[in-house]
Structure 1
Amino acid sequence: MDFLPVLLFGCITIAHFGFNAEAAGTKYGEAFKNLITENGYKGGETGVLLGNRLGYVEGYGRTITGHNVYPESLLPASGISKIITALTVLRLIQEGSINPTDKIFGEKGKLPKMTPNPKKITDKRILEITVDDLLRHAGGWDAEISPIGDPVFNEFLVDGNHHLVNISKEMKLKSPLDTFDVISFMASRKLEFMPGTQSSVSNLGYLILGRVIEETTGLPYDVVVKEELLNNCGMWHTRLGPHTHEGRQVYKGRNPREINAELREKHEVIGEYYAYAQTYMVDSCLGWFTNAYDVMRLAQCLDGSADYQLLNDTTIETMIRRPRLDRSGDASWYGAGFKVHQDGAIWVGEEPHAPDAVFLHRNLKRHKPGTVYTSEENEPMSWTLLFEGKPAIDAPLKQLSRAMVEGETQWPKTNAFVNDLHDKLLTIGRTTKLHRLKVEEHRANAYLIALKRADFNVIWLNAYTHAGGTFITTIAEQDPKASRECVAVAGLTREKLVEKKLELEKLGYNMTFFQNYKSFSHRDKFVFLAVFHKGAFRNDSHILYGIQHFDRPYKTLLNLYEEKGYRPLVQSLEYNRDDALLSFILEADSDKEKDQKPLYSSEENLSEARLEKCVRKYAREQKRLIYLDASNHRGKPKFSALFKKTRMTKWLFSQGLTSEDLLITIAEKQKEGYLPSIVIGYSTKRDDLLFATYMEKPL
C-alpha cells in the first residue's frame, strides 16, 4: 500500500482535447478548410455521423468576436434553431399538449392576447393559421416580397432601406421593439398568401411558435427546450445567444438603435449583425448557439442510433409530411422545421439574415429496434457544417457538403463523441476511465446523458460551489451494458428525488449514490444529485435511505444499524448555517447480519488537516476510502468520509490540488498504473478552488 501526501505543482497550460488529430489529414478535412477560405467565411465547424459514432469533427478559423474556432466552440445555429423549436413543438404534440390543427389567433387560439381587435384585422385569413402551418413555413408570410421585409429584423433593416415599413413608427413606440409588438403588428397586416397553400422560410412563424410553447406550458421557452430536447439528447453545450466576448454578452443592455449605428460602421451584412442580436427577438427562430458535437447528437436522437429516439414513428410521420394544402407534387417540400425529400433525406440550409449552417440526414428510418451499430460502420448518415460570417459569394452548401462527404474514402475509426466529454481519458488494460473536473450544474443533466450515449457508466459524481457558481465533477468508466442501465440526475429537489427514486424502483433500478448540496442555480437551495443502477442490490438486501439528519442523531443511528449488519455506502455532508446535516445510504444482506463496525469507519465534520490524519490512520488499519464529500462551513471546507476494510490494492490520496495540479497528478500516476475513483472539489476561505482525489490500481 502506498500513500501520497498533499502534492503541490506549478501552473501549466492544459492541452486542448477537442482536436481530432487522426482526422486532420483526410480529404474531407482539406475540402472543409478550402470551403471556408475560398468562400470568405471567417471560420467554421463540421461533424460527420458514421453509424452511431461521430467519425469526424473539426473546427477551423476564427469567430466574429475574434476567438479561435475549435470543435466545441459555440457558433450560431442559424436555421438549426428552427429545428430545435420544431422538435420541441413536436414533443408537445406527441405528449398531447398541442394539436397540429390548433389555431394561433382568435379568442380560442393559442395566442388570444396577441390577437388584434377584430376591427384592426385587415386579413381574416390570419385566423386560419394553425400550428402545423407555422411548423412548415406556411403561415402566409413571405419576407422577400413583404413591404415590411423580415419583421424580426425590421428595426435593423429599415435603417438601410427607407422603402420598408417601419414597425416602430407605425406603432408609435418610444421603446425598442419586442416580440409582442412584432407579432401583434403582423397579425393585423395582410398576408402574402393563403395559409397552408405554399411555404416561404419565416422567422416570424417560428418566433410565434416560441410564444405558443410558452403559453402551452406556462414556462419560459428556453426552459421547455432544455427539458424536452437538450437534456434528452445530451446537447450539453447548446444555449441561447448572442455571442459572448471574454465572458460577457456583446452589447448586452444597449439600445438596439445605438447598436445598429455602431454595427453599420463595422459590418456590411446583416448576417454579422446576427452575432449581436438581442436574444428575446430571435430566440425560437434564430437564437441558439451550438457546435458540431451537439448537432450530431441531435442526429442520433432523431434516428435512434444511440439507444434513444426523441420522436415516435407517428410523430416522425407528422414531421416529414407535406403542408396540408400543398398539391404541387414536387420532389421536396417543407416539413416541420426541415426540408424533406421524397427519398427520405431531411436537411436545413442557408438563412438570409444569419450565418450559414447545414444539417443533413440521409434517412431517419435507417435505425430499426434491436439493431446495434458498431464502430466498424463507415457509411456517413448525417453531417453538419456551421459557419461564422457571411461568404463573399453564395455557394450551394447542401450539394457541396454531399460531394465532400462522398469524396472521402478513409474515415477515422474512433468515436469523437468522447472528445468533448473529458479533461482526461485514461486507459489501463481493459479499463478506460473518463474524467471531467468542471461542468456547470445547469448543463449537468444534458452532459450526463451525453456520457450515457457514449457508453460511459457514471461511477463517481460530486457537486461543488465556487465563485458564485455550482459545478459537477465526474468519473465514468467505458461499459456499454452498464451505461445503458445507469441513470444519473443533478439538481433534484427533495420531493423530486423521492419521486425519481420511486419511479425508477418500479423499473428495477436502485439508487446507489446521492449527494446533498447547496445550489446557486436554485438560489442557494438544498438540492440533490443521484445515480441509479438497474439491479444494483441483491433481492435479499435491505436498504435504508436518510435525508438531512443532524449529525449527533445520525451517529447514534449509524452505530445502531452497524450492529444490525448494515454497512454505510454514502454519507453526504451539508451545512445549514451551523447545523451539520447528513444524508446516507445503508445496506445489509439478510444472510450476513453481523456487526459491521470492524469493517467500516465513518468520519464527518473533518477539517483539511484532520482529513489527512484520518486517511493516514485508516491506511495503517488497512482500510480504503470508499466515499468522500465536502461542504462549506463559515467559509472553510468540512469533509465527510467513509472507509472500508477490504482486500487491499495499492492506492494514493491527495488533497489541496488546483485543477492544473490534479490533471498533472492523474496523468503522471496513470503511468504507474493508477486510475482515479474519487474526485471532489471544494473552496477555501480565500475562495480558492481546490480538489482532493483518491486513486487505485485496478485489480
Structure 2
Amino acid sequence: MLNRRRIITAGAGLFPAIALGAGAARASAVPTATAATVETSGVAPAALAGFDNVLKTYVTERGISCAQLAITKNGRLVLARGYRYATGGTTVPAVSPTSLFRIASLSKHVTATAVLRLAQDGVLNLDAPVAPLLGLSIATDPRLANVTVRRLLHHTGGWDRDLSGDYLYLDHTISGSLGVPLPISQDHIIRYASSRPLDFAPGTRYAYSNYGYLLLGRIVEKVSGTSYESYVKQKLLAPVGITRMRLGRTLRAEAAPTEVVYDSQYTSRTVTDASGTVVPTPYGGFSMANRGPGGGWLASAVDLVRFARVFDAAGPVLNATSIAGMFAKPETGVTESGSWYGAGWWVRQVTGNLNTWHDGSLPGTYTYLARLQNGFTYAALFNRREEAGSLDFNVLSPRINAEIGKVTSWPTTDLFPGYF
C-alpha cells in the first residue's frame, strides 16, 4: 500500500472537539460510545466477521470517529458497514454505509475514466498535446509542447511537487504573485504554473502530480462542452446507478447532506479570504473546488465498489479497449517491485490478474480502494488521516489482505439493491 503523504503538519494549534456542522448528518438522541465501543450500521455477514473486526480494531487504535467499509466478491456487494467511534463525551453523527466522505485522490480514477470515455467516443486523442487543447503558452518552457493527455494520466507530464511544490496548496503564494484576491481559482493556478518552468522533460520519468489531474478536468470540460462534474455524472455515474457522488465544498457549513465531519489536530490560515483567520485545516485550510478532478469528490464506500465494477468487463461506461488502456504500462515509471501507475490506478501483474489500487489523503481524510485477484474489491474510508503522534495507517491493506484467505464460504446474496 502506497501512502505518499505520510505525516503532514499544517500549522499550529489543536483541532477542537468534533462538533456537528450545518450540513452534516445529525443523530437524534445518540448515546456517547464508551472507550471499548464501535457503533456499526449496515450488514456484515458472520462469514465476513473478520473484516468487520479489522475495521473496528483499526479505528479504535487510532481514535478515528467515522469510517466505512464495503466489499464486493465477483461483483456482488457482500459487506456494507458504517462505523462510529467516540470517546471522552464527544458525540459524532451516525455513519451509515451510504454516508458521504471526501475521497481525496480516489477522485483520480474517476477523472481518468472520463478522459478515456472521451477518447472512446472519438472526440479526444490521448496523445494530443495539452497546450493547444487548453490554450496554454509554451513561451516560459518550450517543453510544455510535449505534455500530452496520456502523460498527464500517467504523472509523467513534467511537474514534480517535491521540487516546485504542489500548486494546489499554494493559495497564498499564488494570490500574492498574481495580485489576485483569495480565494484563488483553477484558472489562477494554471496561470501561475504556466509562468514557471517544468521540473523535468515530459515522458522521461514519473512524479505524482495533482496539478496534472486538474488539467485533465479542464480538458474534460473543453472537449465535452459541459462542466466536469456534469459530464462525470451523466456519462459515468448515471449509467451504473450511482446518484450520491458529487464534488465537495470547502466549509463545514457547506457540507452535503449525510457528509461526515472531518477531524485533524492541525489548523491553518484560511484560503477562503485574506482575513488571516486560523481555521481547522479540513475546513478552509485548502480549497475543495480546486481539488475537484484530482481530489474533490464525495462518495460512500458502497458507491466506490459499485463504480469499480466498470473496470471488470465492458459495459455502458467503458469498452474492453478502454479498460485495457486504463491499466496499460506507461512509457516509463515501472517500479522495482513491478508495479506502475496506469490511468488513475496503481497496477501490478499477479498470476492471472492485474491487481489495481489507490489511496487518498487530505487533512481530515484517508481512503483506500483495491481490486484484487479472485474477484475481491474493497473500499475503506476514514475521517482522519495519519498525523504526528498517530499510529501507522499503512497497516490497513495488509490486515484486510490477511483476512481474504481466511474466508471459507462467501455469501451468495447481493446487498447492492438495498443501497441505491
Correspondences of 1:160-175 after superposition (within 5 Å): 166-175=173-182
Q: Is 2:261 the counterpart of 1:261? A: no
Q: Distance in 1 between matches of 2:44 and 2:129?
A: 51
Match of 2:377 in 1: 382
Change over 3 Å in CA distance of 1:330–1:126 after alignment to 2: farther
Name the structure where strand makes up a greater proportion of residues: 1
Structure 1's unaligned 5+ residue stretches are: 1-12, 159-165, 364-378, 422-699
1:101–1:131 CA contact under 8 A, matched in 2: yes
Q: Distance in 1 between matches of 2:376 and 2:51?
A: 15
Match of 1:61 in 2: 84
Match of 1:308 in 2: 315
Q: Is 2:257 the counterpart of 1:231? A: no
- SS of the equivalent of 2:42 reads coil
Correspondences of 1:509-520 after superposition (within 5 Å): none
User: Deviation digits for residues 485-544 of structure 1, max 9, x if unmatched?
Assistant: xxxxxxxxxxxxxxxxxxxxxxxxxxxxxxxxxxxxxxxxxxxxxxxxxxxxxxxxxxxx
1:52–1:300 CA contact under 8 A, matched in 2: yes
User: Deviation digits for residues 375-418 of structure 1, max 9, x if unmatched?
Assistant: xxxx5521111111113233324333322433444544432112
Identify which of 153, 156, 159 aligns with 1:135.
153
Deviation at 1:170, TM superposition (A): 1.5
Match of 2:302 in 1: 293
Q: Distance in 2 between matches of 1:65 and 1:204?
A: 37
Correspondences of 1:4-403 after superposition (within 5 Å): 19-20=42-43, 22=45, 26-61=49-84, 66-105=92-131, 109-112=132-135, 115-116=136-137, 118=139, 121=140, 123-146=141-164, 149-155=165-171, 166-242=173-249, 256-257=272-273, 261-263=277-279, 266-267=280-281, 272-273=282-283, 277-304=286-313, 308=315, 310-326=317-333, 331-343=338-350, 344-351=354-361, 355-362=365-372, 380-391=375-386, 392-396=390-394, 397-403=396-402
- SS of the equivalent of 2:72 reads strand
User: Deviation digits for residues 345-398 of structure 1, max 9, x if unmatched?
Assistant: 1111243656221111125xxxxxxxxxxxxxxx55211111111132333243
Deviation at 1:93, TM superposition (A): 0.7
Match of 2:33 in 1: none
Q: Distance in 2 between matches of 1:27 and 1:326?
A: 36
Correspondences of 1:459-538 after superposition (within 5 Å): none
User: Deviation digits for residues 180-222 of structure 1, max 9, x if unmatched?
Assistant: 1101211221222221222222111111111001111111111
Deviation at 1:138, TM superposition (A): 1.3
Correspondences of 1:679-698 after superposition (within 5 Å): none
- SS of the equivalent of 2:365 reads coil
- SS of the equivalent of 1:73 reads coil
Deviation at 1:48, TM superposition (A): 0.9
Q: Which amino acid aligns with 2:207?
A: S
1:49–1:55 CA contact under 8 A, matched in 2: yes
Change over 3 Å in CA distance of 1:407–1:141 after alignment to 2: farther
Equivalent pairs counted in the alignment come to: 360
1:346–1:362 CA contact under 8 A, matched in 2: yes
Q: Distance in 1 between matches of 2:92 and 2:320?
A: 43
Q: State the Cα RMSD in Å.
A: 3.0
1:23–1:29 CA contact under 8 A, matched in 2: no
Q: Distance in 2 between matches of 1:244 and 1:293?
A: 25
Deviation at 1:326, TM superposition (A): 4.4
User: Deviation digits for residues 225-256 of structure 1, max 9, x if unmatched?
Assistant: 01111111211211111278687569xxx971
Q: Distance in 2 between matches of 1:244 and 1:257?
A: 12
1:26–1:411 CA contact under 8 A, matched in 2: no
1:136–1:335 CA contact under 8 A, matched in 2: yes
Q: Distance in 1 between matches of 2:44 and 2:348?
A: 35
Q: Distance in 2 between matches of 1:194 and 1:354?
A: 34
Q: Which amino acid aligns with 1:398?
A: S
Deviation at 1:99, TM superposition (A): 0.7
1:48–1:380 CA contact under 8 A, matched in 2: no
Structure 2's unaligned 5+ residue stretches are: 1-27, 29-39, 260-269
Change over 3 Å in CA distance of 1:117–1:206 after alignment to 2: closer
User: Deviation digits for residues 584-616 of structure 1, max 9, x if unmatched?
Assistant: xxxxxxxxxxxxxxxxxxxxxxxxxxxxxxxxx
Q: Which amino acid aligns with 1:128?
A: N
- SS of the equivalent of 1:384 reads strand
User: Deviation digits for residues 462-493 of structure 1, max 9, x if unmatched?
Assistant: xxxxxxxxxxxxxxxxxxxxxxxxxxxxxxxx
Q: Distance in 2 between matches of 1:260 and 1:61?
A: 34
Which protein shows a greater Rg?
Answer: 1
The sequence identity of aligned pairs, in percent, is 29
Q: Scaled by the length of structure 2, what TM-score is found? A: 0.77
Q: Distance in 1 between matches of 2:99 and 2:335?
A: 41
Q: Distance in 2 between matches of 1:200 and 1:245?
A: 32
Change over 3 Å in CA distance of 1:25–1:117 after alignment to 2: closer
Q: Distance in 1 between matches of 2:217 and 2:253?
A: 29
Q: Which amino acid aligns with 1:150?
A: D
Deviation at 1:71, TM superposition (A): 0.6
Q: Distance in 1 between matches of 2:255 and 2:193?
A: 33
Deviation at 1:173, TM superposition (A): 1.8
- SS of the equivalent of 1:26 reads helix
Match of 2:17 in 1: none
Q: Distance in 1 between matches of 2:190 and 2:177?
A: 14
Match of 1:617 in 2: none
2:220–2:228 CA contact under 8 A, matched in 1: yes
1:65–1:243 CA contact under 8 A, matched in 2: no
1:26–1:410 CA contact under 8 A, matched in 2: no
Change over 3 Å in CA distance of 1:303–1:143 after alignment to 2: same
Change over 3 Å in CA distance of 1:309–1:174 after alignment to 2: closer
Q: Distance in 1 between matches of 2:84 and 2:380?
A: 13
Change over 3 Å in CA distance of 1:356–1:408 after alignment to 2: farther
Q: Scaled by the length of structure 1, what TM-score is found? A: 0.48
